[in-house]
Amino acid sequence: MGIGAGIGIANFTFNDARGFWSWIDLCDNGGLGSVWQSDRIIDATPNLETMSVMAALAGGSKHLKFGMNVASLGLRHPVLMAKQCATIDILSEGRLLPAFGIGSARSMDYVATGTPTKGRGKRTDEGIQIMARLWQEDHVTFEGEYYQLKDASIAPKPVQQPLPLWVGGSSKQAIERTARWSTGWQAGIETAEEIAPVIAAIKTRAAELGRSIDDDHFGAGFSFRFGTNDEPVVAKYNAFMGERLGKDPTAYAAVGGVSEMMEMVHRFRQADVYKFVFRPIATGTEDMLKQTRLLIEKLLPELYALNG
């Protein structure tokens, strides 16, 4: 058990594909444990499709683990997703970290793909069960409200046995979903104070079900920038996040130096978070590379020192 560090991206802020791969090389060789790609399809802001990124990282990195933060299972058929995840895990030699949620009912992704939002929670519940079984069992029969399988199998199976299955979300339904079927939980854009009762509730419910989730499989993150709040890129970030969240965006980011970032880390540690996903506030390839180098050189030693 130990504290781990990953890095997360939502927008494709790089100048080009070469810039993205330069950044991946830096992450791959810099001591970061994982890369996490957000999941959005319909959006005017440039961003990459999450499963395509997972497949690319299988061949484009050597050491990093990588995951979706989080893939909307309400949008995707679980059998196809199970096959995709197994394939990527095999080709990466066991480095995939699949993570799923139901997706927002306000997302344009549902309308654009003709997918109903009604029932997306139940579809996700059924989908998680189907995937977990297909990754391990040779003969899967399932009779659900939305999905039916008879003697189904996929091969080859994932390298990781069992393949990790992380869940996102903080609702009562997400807590139940996590406690009942997942191997880990990943927070969204939330403060330490917001997620502390969620983690406690998951642990309590899992115990009631006779299950347990490893303490170091609870993850959360925050945005960061080595710099000052008066930089244009920070002002733009605050304006965007303030509009999106309807809350004070400064509570969800650490801007300044290592002391400000470690203060945020300690708050999350008090909420029983072990896995951190840091999201750079940056624009363009050079800025992303600079912020990531500073994360690796300055913050990671302080973070890993907490492991003793």
| pLDDT score of 91 more than 90 | yes
- Of all residues in the chain, the percent with pLDDT exceeding 70 is 100
C-alpha span between 264 and 252 (Å, rounded): 9
- Mean pLDDT for all residues in the chain: 96
pLDDT tens-place string over residues 190-230: 999 999 999 999 999 999 999 999 999 999 999 999 999 99
pLDDT tens-place string over residues 174-187: 999 999 999 999 99
CB 218 within 8 A of CB 199: yes
The tokens of 14 are what? Answer: 């790089």
C-alpha span between 270 and 274 (Å, rounded): 10
C-alpha to C-alpha distances, 245 to 30, 45, 92, 191, 291, nearest whole angstrom: 32, 17, 35, 12, 24
C-alpha to C-alpha distances, 271 to 47, 191, 213, 278, nearest whole angstrom: 30, 10, 15, 17
pTM of this prediction exceeds 0.85: yes
| pLDDT score of 1 more than 70 | no
Residue 262 structural domain: 4-305
Give first-to-last CA distance, the chain, whole Å: 12
Question: What CATH number does the domain containing 133 carry?
Answer: 3.20.20.30
| pLDDT score of 244 more than 90 | no
pLDDT tens-place string over residues 124-136: 999 999 999 999 9
C-alpha to C-alpha distances, 33 to 54, 99, 199, 236, 241, nearest whole angstrom: 15, 16, 22, 29, 26
- Residue ranges of E strands in the chain: 4-9, 34-37, 65-68, 71-72, 96-97, 99-101, 140-143, 148-152, 166-168, 184-186, 218-226, 253-256, 275-280
For 140, half-sphere exposure in the C-beta direction (CA atoms, 13 angstrom radius) is: 24
- Write the burial class of residue 251 (CB in 10 Å: 0-12 exposed, 13-18 middle, 19+ buried): middle
CB 144 within 8 A of CB 128: no
Cα 302 versus chain centre, distance:
23
pLDDT tens-place string over residues 156-166: 999 999 999 99
pLDDT tens-place string over residues 93-144: 999 999 999 988 778 999 999 999 999 999 999 999 999 999 999 999 999 9
Q: State the total domains in the chain.
A: 1
The torsion of the CA quartet 174, 176, 180, 181, rounded to 10 degrees, works out to -10
CB 185 within 8 A of CB 218: yes
CB 66 within 8 A of CB 114: no
| pLDDT score of 254 more than 80 | yes
C-alpha span between 23 and 36 (Å, rounded): 13
Amino acid at 15: N
